[in-house]
Structure 1
């Protein structure tokens, strides 16, 4: 049974109205089967540019293209009925100008059927966010550690410690004032995330931030124990499916080598057999 009763599909306005309410549940998805699994349990499903690392084996998210995001967005759309679908804008598809950002976002929304897009950046992207929201493109912001700027940050480091907290706070306020309906706070000190959450009129979504945030997000392959190239401190493993899958693959391989698979029940004879009252083919 699903954890959340089936309702009409969520909208960006619905998410914004949940400020200070029941915490919002976000997960990533990149495929139709996973989208179907998370749909009834999540308020928002993000088609994240983390797909580049999780499914395509890229070292960072920087090599992800707009075409890749659209392909995975179309797959996820087929698996959703109720959760709000957001698609990440990949590196290089929106930074040049507000006009470039609009062209990219319009294409993503038209081709995937998503309800909103997410882009990284604070004060530097406020003009672009304002431009997009003024033209009917709902925006989810992302400040703190921004994976697309990992080279600038010198790695996946905590952002906003000490006096640098003013920068992160300013970025979050700028994103909210520009019209975003929610903002992700990634890998920032707990006290800073708590303070920003209390100051913003829009929901904050934490990932390595604070339980006080209005919601939380994790990469689904991380929390299921499938992706194991690295494991950030903020990830909690709710399962170890990678180990289970590897054990199953090893068992299959051994049975093939021992000629124990396929067995008689997996094969077909010259005439149909009756199984459980029905005819097998």
Structure 2
């Protein structure tokens, strides 16, 4: 698939310290791509370079075929950007603010009102068009921030922590809005929240200590570390010492009630033995499954591998 973003050997230095070092990746058109990393990992530097705010120290960056070093104004025509703190003017109405945002994008005067009406409907804030921005809830202010990012119909939308500080219902609403936007354009979602990436993104780019340590699907990320525990539920469970004596079991954790976490040397053989022993000893097994590593565990493992290089 044709790429809308191309990054080749990107590096950037602040004073004497490298914030980003030799990063390369391509992003195809359409879909939601998570830019994941801990605070200070280099995410903001990459975003600012992509959006034409910074010029990199080394490397090549293009959006829709436009080189960010040769034509930054042309580059920005294809990009919509929502910073972590939305750039809102609280004393304007929603409609006034969006007209102003469209004018900043150099849209023709005769197209401004139509563009505003379309994003009001898309972001489901049409009924707030005459309300002052400062009188909106946090969730609706975030919608207004997203509306200004897409009002000029950019092909690439970059969102920095778009659900930060919102309540659970607002988070779900913003996620659905982002998914709708991604049906017609590419969305890059920057966050340090692992569950946010899992809930909304198709692919992940993980940056740690200025280096790209993972690029792939969410499923591949989630399966990065081979499961090393089994969840086991036995209605008539024996003592843990009995379970520990089963060949291939290296440890047992009691999880309360009839539930256990089994550590093993080889998954399938241990699961087969647990099933056989349960049937033979009437332990009444009600559930057995491999436990997938948590996203936090994977994040920590990738970060560790990056620091070891």
TM-score with structure 1 setting the length: 0.29
Per residue, is there more strand in 1 or in 2?
2
Q: Of the two structures, which has the highest relative contact order with CA contacts closer than 8 Å and spacing of 6 or more? A: 2
